[in-house]
Amino acid sequence: MRKVLCVIGTRPEAIKMAPVIRALKNSNSFTTKVLATGQHTDMLKQALEDFGIAPDFNLNIMRNAQTLDHITSSVLAKTGDYLDSEHNDFVLVHGDTSTTFAASLAAFYRKIPVAHVEAGLRSHDKYLPFPEEMNRVLTDRISEIFFAPTENAAENLRNEHVNPEKIFVTGNTVIDALFEILKLNQNIPEFMRELDNQPFVLMTAHRRESWGEPLLEICAAVRDILAARPDVKFLIPLHKNPIVRDVIKSELQNNISNVIFTEPLNYPDFTFAMSKCRFILSDSGGVQEEASAINKPVLIMRTLSERPEAIDHGTGVLVGTNRKIIRETTLEILNNESFLKKILSKNTKPFGNGTASQKILSVLENYHARQA
């Protein structure tokens, strides 16, 4: 059997790759192993456990205040050592993280084909999102097989002169993961009891380009919203990075009666929160995809999005990090039912129907058959 190595480093990668890993492990065509780089540690492990997956190897690269240089160089060197230790027929990576790029580069140095899940997304600004836009572009330059989640992503690749025969539109694997988790009988999380059936907004913020003044603007907007609508609560899972969490807690500590802080939620609890909230404020990429699948509005706190489908065909509204725009758009949704209905009427589930992992498996099996 052909050997495939799935490399993951962060919580979002673990969630999005879990359905693919399970499909590969259930196939008779492959021997599949999972290499965790440890770019995230506990959050990565927790996300895999939600899907009954454990990594076969963990490079444990994470350290306090880790830099991009450290992540990239450590993943490159240690993944290279692993690839030298045993044969692999191809390496499967996901998305746009530093783990994705560095692991792909390690495979390229050994002439091992790379299959890229979630290929082709583009903001067309190399600094937005940073460093993810260039991580994804460079990974696509290295890759042999391209799993584009949407036709728009596939068109980006064709415009970059990628061989069309190597591009496969699959939908996004996060929709597979989301639908699977939503089918489970979940207990009501503890934090939901604090909400006491009040309307709430789910907010996440963590991106590097949001650090500093943009994050202060976001927090100021939240204070404005709560002043105008004291009946509304905000649920804010705090990112582990102190550059983010310390600012948010400091800026919103005087609104603590209306703000519920939690540690990062496991994926089942996060999907529960998404399904129950009024709408979402987020700078996350994956949330844009998930929100569209469950017909939930998401105000995207970025100046650009590499997922234009969320805006053009889904439930996304681009608001940036401007205090006034965030405040006014949020209050419009809270106060104007017709405005909310207008957003929801655009929903067409642009990121797929939950079958992406099976499509990826089928492509890899056919590729395997041709190489045999």
The catalytic residue among 13, 50, 96, 289 is 96
Query: What sign results for the dihedral spanned by CA atoms 155, 157, 162, 165?
Result: negative
Rg (Cα) of the chain, in Å, rounded? 20
- Residue linked to tokens 């990121």: 351
For residue 98, the tally of other CB atoms under 10 A from its CB is 25
Strand partners, 300: 282, 318
Select from 138, 166, 81, 103 the least CA-distant residue to 367: 166
The catalytic residue among 208, 229, 313, 368 is 208
Reduced to 3 states, what is the DSSP secondary structure of residue 262?
strand
Residue 118 known to be catalytic: yes
Residue 124 known to be catalytic: no
Please list, residue by residue across 159-169, b when 16 or more beta carbons sit within 10 angstroms of its beta carbon and e when fewer do. eeebeeeebbb
The catalytic residue among 2, 22, 122, 132 is 132
Residue 368 known to be catalytic: no
Q: Is residue 211 a contact partner of residue 243, using CB atoms and an 8 Å limit?
A: yes
Contacts of 292 (CB under 8 A, 6+ apart): 298, 309, 310, 313, 314, 315, 316, 347, 349, 350, 351
Q: Is residue 144 a contact partner of residue 90, using CB atoms and an 8 Å limit?
A: yes
Reduced to 3 states, what is the DSSP secondary structure of residue 189?
coil
Q: E strands within the chain?
A: 2-8, 30-36, 57-58, 90-94, 114-117, 145-148, 167-169, 200-204, 233-237, 259-262, 279-282, 298-300, 316-318
Residue 132 known to be catalytic: yes
The catalytic residue among 13, 50, 118, 306 is 118
Written as six digits, the tokens of 283 are 């700078």
Q: How many residues does the chain have?
A: 372
The catalytic residue among 158, 223, 229, 239 is 239
Would you name the residues annotated as active-site residues?
Answer: 96, 118, 132, 206, 208, 239
